Each structure stands twice: as structure tokens, then as C-alpha cells.
Amino acid sequence: MTHNNKKSRPVAIRPARSIAVTSGKGGVGKSTLSLNLALELARRGKRVCLFDADTNLANISILTGLTPEITLGDWLADRAGLDRLLLQGPGGIHIVPASSGLMELVDPDPVRQQRLLDLLQRLERDYDFLIVDTAAGADRQVLSFLQAAGEVLVVITPEPTSLTDAFSLLKLLHREGYRHPVQVVVNRAPDFDGARDTLVRFASAVRKYIGLRVVAPGYVFDDPLVGVAVSRQQPLLELFPDSRAGQCLRNFTRSLLQRDSDPTRSLSSWLAAQQAAGGEPLQRLIEGPDNAWVDDVVERIRSEPLEDVRLWMQLFSSAWQKRLDEEAGKDGEETRRQGFLAAVRFASRVGRQPQPVLTAEPTEPTS
């Protein structure tokens, strides 16, 4: 009888792909797209949880005709179990209903924030996808969810107000330190050419004035059957799976599944990092204010002769240490903290590589 003395290595568990679905303004079909995306993912064998993060409208409950028994706020206050919080939705998906308790993400009480972290970690372990339906607009809560999620999906329509509001949202997100690619889907497109033209115009503006990379997983045609499904409080892909918009949603989901995702980015990891940073988002600490003179210094460090740069850095270091020594008597610990953060900001800019951008163009629809 032989024995295998090799210890088996633990299998790494990949957290659920978290996708925050957002828009610059309401009324563009964001929640309808979130719901049907969740259903199509479930139909393809994925375990899906739809997280309703719109505390103002709670559209997911309205679109499905479900009435939550408790709110997330109740659960965070330890007044109910998780089995009462999660709703059984259509197509085998589960739903976390909207609640004002989500404000714990941006204005945390330590105990409640820890319970929220525990919840996110459990959901990321139990599901393959977490679809987060955010509120429309760019308030503090929405920006926090966009920073926290592994992927951001922006819903736009060909209407000028939708494009300008979505552009403003991404501009604010960029100012908060967000540097990852954003996925953009054109909803209510009149036809393929209309979807392509809208996407190209929007992606060009985002590339030129913000510098974010835009990826286009698909588009959804304008379809009156979407309104019929909403009025019946049932998902489009359950009522009219072969409709014009339904076929687009299936193509869109297939394209999204073909994209790679970063396994290190998740809602729980972002919240844990925020806790470690004392409540201030880590990316904002690194990025700091967007001062043009800093960028000019960084560019000179990258391009000037090495010996000149070495001398400059010695002078910078000496001057900064002198400043810290002078200020230490006032509030030593806080001064050291601010000095460390300033050094991190500067070093991150020196080491940052230019962000590539891409104007994405949709492909022709397939049956």
C-alpha cells in the first residue's frame, strides 16, 4: 500500500465578477438592462445575484413585481437573517433589494460596515456574477459603487442629454482616481448604424477629454415590446426572448462573457482597502488633486537626462524633509501621515504609464 505524502494545495476561489451598471441620467433603461443581463447569465448556467443599489427608486423590485420582506438596513442592524434578505427572482436569480442601508458604503459605522463587508464576501463566494444596479447620476454613493466594482457598464441612448450626462459621470469618476476601462452599451438604438455612430461619438469624446478606455460589448435596439414587459412587471427575456431587443441582449451577454476580468478586483476588496485607509478611498489617496504643475514635473523626470533628474530628486527630498521637521512640532503624527500620502501620490505619478485608449466599434448583429 502506498501513501501520497504530498499535501494538496487549496484551490483558489475566484470571487464573483462584479459589474456596476450605471447611467448619467434616469430613464435610459439601465435597470431593465441589468435585470435581463442577470437572467441571460443565469440561463447560461451562471449563479447570479442582482444587487439593487438604487435607494431612491428600487426599480428591480418594481420590474419583477416583488415585495421585499426586509431591507438591507434591517440586515445590517442584525435584525434579520440573510435568508430573509435575498429574494428569489425570475429565472433562478437572487435579488438584494434596495435600501437606504447602502449608505454604509460611503458613510460607515464600523459595526455595520463590517456586516456589509461580510455580506459582500459571502455573495462573492456563493455567486459567479454580482450585477449592481446603481442609481442614475453621480452622487457620492454611485461613485463609490463604480470604484468598488470589478467592472463598470455605462448605459447611454442616442439622446444628447444622455450622452452629456454620461460624459459628466465619467469625468467625475476619473477625478476620483478611476483608471480602468469602461464598458458602454447603446440602448434604444434605432438601427445598427445609429448604435455605431452614437458609440463612436461618445467614445471619441471620452478618449479625447477624459482619457479613459472605452469597450463596447454590444447595443440594444429600440423595441416597443420592452415597454410591454415593464408594464407587466416581467423581464423581456421571459416574455419575448426572440424580440428585436431580446436578441441584442443575448448577443450583448455573450460578448460580455468573452471578455476577461481582473480577479483581484471585487466589491469586498475595495471596501476592505477603504477600511485600511481610514475611510478614504485608496485610489483617491494615491491620485490626489489633479495639479498640472505636478504632471509637468513628472514629465521632466521621465524625459530629462538621468544625472539631472538624480540631482533634482535629491533637492526635492532634502526640501521635503526640512518641511516635515519644521512642522513636526505642531502635530507630528498627522504631519507624518500627510507626508507619506504626498510621497505616495508623487511616486504613483512618476511610475504611471500612459493609459491606452480605444474607440470601440460594435459588430454587426448575429442571429
**Count: domains in the chain:** 2
Give the C-alpha separation, 25 to 46, whole Å: 30
| Residue 71, domain CATH | 3.40.50.300
Name the residue type at position 110: P
Residues 196, 290 share a domain: no
**68 in Cβ contact with 41 (< 8 Å):** no
Q: What is the pLDDT of residue 230?
A: 95
Average pLDDT over residues 139-152: 88
Average pLDDT over residues 282-305: 59
Phi, psi torsion values for 172, nearest 5 degrees: -65, -40
Considering the domain architecture, whether residues 188 and 334 belong to the same structural domain is answered as no
Same domain as 95, residue 21? yes
pLDDT confidence band for 19 (50 / 70 / 90): very high
Does some domain include residue 367? no
The last residue of one of the domains, among 254, 276, 298, is 276
Query: Residue 217: enclosing H or E segment and its boundaries?
Result: strand 214-221
Beta carbons of 160 and 154 less than 8 angstroms apart: no
Residue 362 lies in a domain: no
Nearest to 213 by CA among 252, 183, 190, 248: 183
Gap between the Cα atoms of 228 and 232, Å rounded: 6
Indicate if 152 and 43 belong to the same structural domain.
Answer: yes
DSSP 214: E
pLDDT at 286: 45
pLDDT computed for residue 347 by the predictor: 60
What does the pLDDT read at residue 9? 40
Q: Give CA–CA dist 20/267, Å, rounded.
A: 10
57 or 66, greater pLDDT: 66
Nearest to 112 by CA among 100, 123, 130: 100
**116 shares its domain with 243:** yes
Q: Confirm whether 289 is domain-assigned.
A: yes
How many other β-carbons are positioned within 10 Å of the β-carbon of residue 283? Answer: 18
Q: What is the largest CA-CA distance in the chain?
A: 75
Range of the domain at 335: 282-351
pLDDT at position 95: 94
Report the distance separating Cα 55 and Cα 62, nearest Å: 13
Measure Cα distances from 349 to 207, 291, 320 in Å: 20, 11, 17
Same domain, 68 and 85: yes
User: Does 235 share its domain with 314?
Assistant: no
Based on the fold, state whether residues 25 and 74 are members of the same structural domain: yes
Is 335 a member of any domain?
A: yes
> Which of 126, 176, 89 has the alpha carbon at shortest distance from 15?
126
Pair type for strands 17-22 and 129-134: parallel
Report yes or no on 54 lying in a domain: yes
Q: Verify that 271 and 294 share a domain, yes or no.
A: no
- The pLDDT confidence band at residue 213, using thresholds 50, 70 and 90, is very high
Residue 190 has pLDDT above 80, yes or no: yes
Does one domain contain both 345 and 237?
no
**CA proximity to 15, closest of 278, 268, 232:** 268
Q: Which of 243, 260, 276 is the last residue before a domain boundary?
A: 276
* Residue 247 and residue 293 share a domain: no
Same domain, 286 and 171: no
Which phi and psi angles does 317 have, rounded to 5°?
-60, -45
Last residue of a domain, one of 276, 300, 318: 276
Cα(116)–Cα(110) distance, integer angstroms: 10
- Residue 298 resides in a domain: yes
What is the four-CA torsion angle of 54, 58, 63, 69, rounded to 10 degrees?
A: 130
What does the pLDDT look like over 228-237, one tens digit per residue? 999 999 999 9
More confident residue, 216 or 325: 216
Band (pLDDT 50/70/90 cuts) for residue 2 is: very low
What percentage of the chain has pLDDT greater than the value 70?
Answer: 69
Mean pLDDT, range 278-292, rounded to an integer: 51
pLDDT of residue 87: 92
- E strands in the chain: 17-22, 48-53, 87-88, 94-96, 129-134, 151-156, 182-189, 214-221
Candidate from 49-58, 99-108, 167-176, 277-286 with smallest mean pLDDT: 277-286
